[in-house]
Amino acid sequence: MRRLPVLQSVQSAPRAIVQAAHNVTKPNRDGSPWYARVFRLTTTRILTQAFCFSLFIFLLWVTWFSRLGGYPASLFLELDPLVSFATAVSTHTVYRWLWRSLWILVPTLVLGRVFCGWICPYGTLHQFIGWVFNIRRNKDNIGVNAYRPIFQFKYYLLVVFLILSAFGALQIGLLDPICLLTRSVATAIQPAFDSALPDVLAGISARPGAPHPRVFAGAWFIGFLLIGLVGMNLVIPRFFCRVLCPLGAFLGTLSRFALLRIDRDLTKCTDCNLCMRHCEGASDPQEALRKSECFVCFNCIDDCPEDALAFRLAPVPVHERIIGSLKDGTARLFGRKVISKLPETVLAPPDVPRRRWVFAGIAGLLAFPFLRFSKSVNARSYSAKAIRPPGTVSEPEFLERCIKCDQCINVCPTNVLQPSTLTEGGLEGLWTPVMDFRTGFCQLNCTLCSEVCPTGAIQKIDLARKLGKEAHVEAGPIRLGTAFFNRGRCLPWAMETPCVVCEEVCPTSPKAIGTYQQEITRWDGKKVLLNQPYMRPELCIGCGICEHECPVQDDPAVYVTAIGESRSKDRSLLLGSEVKRT
């Protein structure tokens, strides 16, 4: 009798399981145990990357009033060695938590660019997107991971950025991957995430309890830049990391001293080039390894069919120890036959010709005057709308410190902090925080931006300092600017209509806005009691809540400009305003 096929498969199921288990636990051909197949270094790397990426996103997610509770919200920025090095160059100091970058610096000096391959969340994003959308054939994968001279470009950028830092114009934040990703998530991804979130998931919203969806100046540009840079992975894998990343260039330069590297065994390597298939850094493991480009991802070791690659201490190249001729196949190394036709195994320093370092240097020297003598950031003609958050150091010092990471903008509860566009800050101030009082206002009892700033561009202040209380009575409150009335647009002044919301919301005590009361007879004969507001500038702290609440919404009748800000004596308004207020 024929057995039913279903029955047959049920009976054979246990056997299949046993067989599968047997297959999984079978030792490797080289005799290594089965788990060497699963618990590989590359698996560890992928798990580490997933962890670091999740941690990065988590820390940005907790960067919010109701969630901050001792989390090191700006940890990744503090770990970033370029941030601490460039700010040390520009300020000659290492602010607060920036010493944490030693945790990256030291492993880099020993192992090379492990940060790029294992930790950097932006690198992980690039690697993941490149992997998911990779439709190339194997042959093309090998070709696309070959080193190209354009990969030198990041070193020129680094030179320009470091020279600018030395002059006090910190620009690394434009392209530093941690700054760039923090900024992109804060100003572009976060609003998109929150708007896509269904009501039932409101609890995991990035900005729970925010009264309005958050808006950011130039979010479209920051967002499209993110898509564009990530999208470049479809053309050249890790395009950003290989071509643009100034942090990668910095770590690459340091890597030349690294003790460990991928070492190619010339007596095993058949020059098959399969190691290039998944090479993240395009570091040429198939010939002379470009240590400065290597992300230490270990894919090449996984891919090598001859087991010719290993990550090990290899300080001295071996090609001088080869005896015999490579051409006629008589070459031998330490008694074994050399199979590879490419005797060079390492190229440590970045592949940048000396004259080009010089060119980059000249470009950097010129870049500073180009930036600083642009009107918007120059002390002689600064923008009235470049209003900086409370605790910000004076403008030249600020430009030495701000890395445009926009963590302050991320944490700001009222959305008043905006990434500067070219209008307020020029290119030098691009994406630095400025206050836009039509979007929000500086909440009196809030100092969150000063808590999260990793570089001290906004110095950590407490509430007493901000409000000029307790030990700071002498210094007075921090003033962000001064409010002005535009009587031509003010309802009580120009339109015989009662209003004075500005006076109502003015948070100082006594209020900086007072009113003249007068009864007038309107055009229609109606008697109206008007409170016409005026400003007491010595009391105004420039918080901008008057501007924000002014019903003449599109071009408020009361508005704050930067003049009178207390962070800089050059920008004071009233005679003797540094003297203690009565």
Partner 1 sequence: MSNERRRARQAEPEPSAQELEQQRDHQRIERRALLKGALGLGGAVAAAGWASLAPPSWPLSLRDPDGERGKPKASVRSLPDGGFRVPDAPSVAELGVAHGTQLKPMLLAALDALGGIGRFIERGDVVVIKPNVAFERPAALGATTNPEVLTALIEIVREAGASEIRVADNPIESPSSCFVRSGIQAATQAAGARLFLPTPEEFALLGTPGATWIERWPFFWGPFVGANKVIGVSPIKDHNLCRASMTTKNWYGLLGGRRNQFHQDIHGIIADLALMLRPTFVVLDATRVLFRSGPTGGSLGDVKPGHTVVVSRDSLAADAYGWDNLLERQGEALPAYFAKSAARQLGQPDWRKLSLKEVNVG
**Is the Cβ of residue 329 or residue 498 nearer to partner 1 in the bound state?**
498
**48/508 with CB nearer partner 1:** 508
- Choose the binding region for partner 1 from 23-31, 146-154, 202-210, 224-232 (rule: CB under 8 A): 202-210
Q: Which of residues 417-456 bind partner 1 (CB under 8 A)?
A: 441, 443-446
- Amino acid in position 320: E
Query: Bridge-partner residues for 527, per DSSP?
Result: 521
Give the integer Cα–Cα distance in Å for 194 and 216: 14
Considering the complex, what minimum distance in angstroms separates the CB of residue 408 from partner 1?
Answer: 15
Q: Which of 509, 519, 524, 582 binds partner 1 (CB under 8 A)?
A: 509
| Near partner 1 by CB under 8 A: residue from 501, 535, 557, 558 | 501
**Part in contact with partner 1 (CB under 8 A); list of ranges 18-26, 148-156, 201-209, 310-318:** 201-209
Instruction: Name the pairing type of β-strands 289-290 and 346-347.
Output: parallel
Using CB under 8 A as the binding rule, whether residue 481 contacts partner 1 is answered as no
The neighbouring-strand residues paired with 312 are: 261
Q: Judged by CB under 8 A, how many residues of this single chain contact partner 1?
A: 39
Q: Which range binds partner 1 by CB under 8 A, 354-362, 388-396, 427-435, 547-555?
A: 547-555
- Give me the helices (H) in 210-342, please: 219-231, 239, 246-255, 299-303
Q: Decide if residue 44 touches partner 1 (CB under 8 A).
A: no
Beta bridge partners of 535: 513
Structure token pair of residue 564? 């009178």
Query: Rounded to the nearest 5 degrees, what angle is found at the Cα of 339, between the Cα atoms of 334 and 344?
Result: 75
> To the nearest whole angstrom, how small is the minimum distance from the Cβ of residue 72 to partner 1?
21
- DSSP-based three-state secondary structure for 561: strand
Q: Which of 41, 65, 136, 274 touches partner 1 by CB under 8 A?
A: 65
Is 163 or 557 the residue whose CB approaches partner 1 more closely?
Answer: 557
**Does residue 208 bind partner 1 (CB under 8 A)?**
yes
CB of residue 299 to partner 1, shortest distance in Å:
45
Here the tokens at position 89 are: 């160059």
Find the length of the chain: 582
Cβ closer to partner 1: 338 or 557?
Answer: 557
Residue choice 371, 545, 558, 560 for contact with partner 1 (CB under 8 A) = 545
Q: Toward partner 1, which CB reaches closer, 3 or 527?
A: 527
CB of 77 to partner 1, least distance (A): 24
Q: Is the dihedral of CA 572, 577, 581, 582 positive or negative?
A: negative
Burial class (CB in 10 A: 0-12, 13-18, 19+), 551: exposed
User: Could you tell me the two tokens for 424?
Assistant: 């307020």
Residues within window 14-33 making contact with partner 1, judged by CB under 8 A: none
Q: Which residue has the tokens 């901008």?
A: 544
339 is written with which tokens? Answer: 């199979």
Residue 508 CB, shortest distance to partner 1, in Å, is 6
List the beta bridge partners of residue 141: none
538 binds partner 1 (CB under 8 A): no
Is 411 an interacting residue with respect to partner 1 (CB under 8 A)? Answer: no
According to DSSP, the residues that pair with 533 across neighbouring strands are: 515
Q: How far is the CB of 501 from partner 1 (least distance, A)?
A: 5
Q: Are 349 and 272 in contact (CB under 8 A)?
A: no
Comparison of 264 and 548: residue with beta carbon closer to partner 1: 548
Q: Give the Å distances, CA to CA, from 56 to 16, 119, 120, 263, 451.
A: 43, 10, 9, 32, 18
Work out which of 129, 332, 549, 572 binds partner 1, going by CB under 8 A: 549
Specify the stretch interacting with partner 1 by CB under 8 A; choose among 121-129, 151-159, 374-382, 543-551.
543-551
Cβ(261)–Cβ(294) under 8 Å? yes
Report the alpha-carbon distance of residue 185 to residue 175 in Å, rounded: 14
212 touches partner 1 by CB under 8 A: yes
CA pair distance 114, 107, nearest whole angstrom: 7
Binding window for partner 1 (CB under 8 A); candidates: 177-185, 251-259, 265-273, 501-509: 501-509
Q: Which residues in this chain contact partner 1 in the complex, by CB under 8 A?
A: 65-66, 199, 202, 208-213, 413-414, 441, 443-446, 491, 497-501, 503-511, 515, 531, 545, 549-551, 553
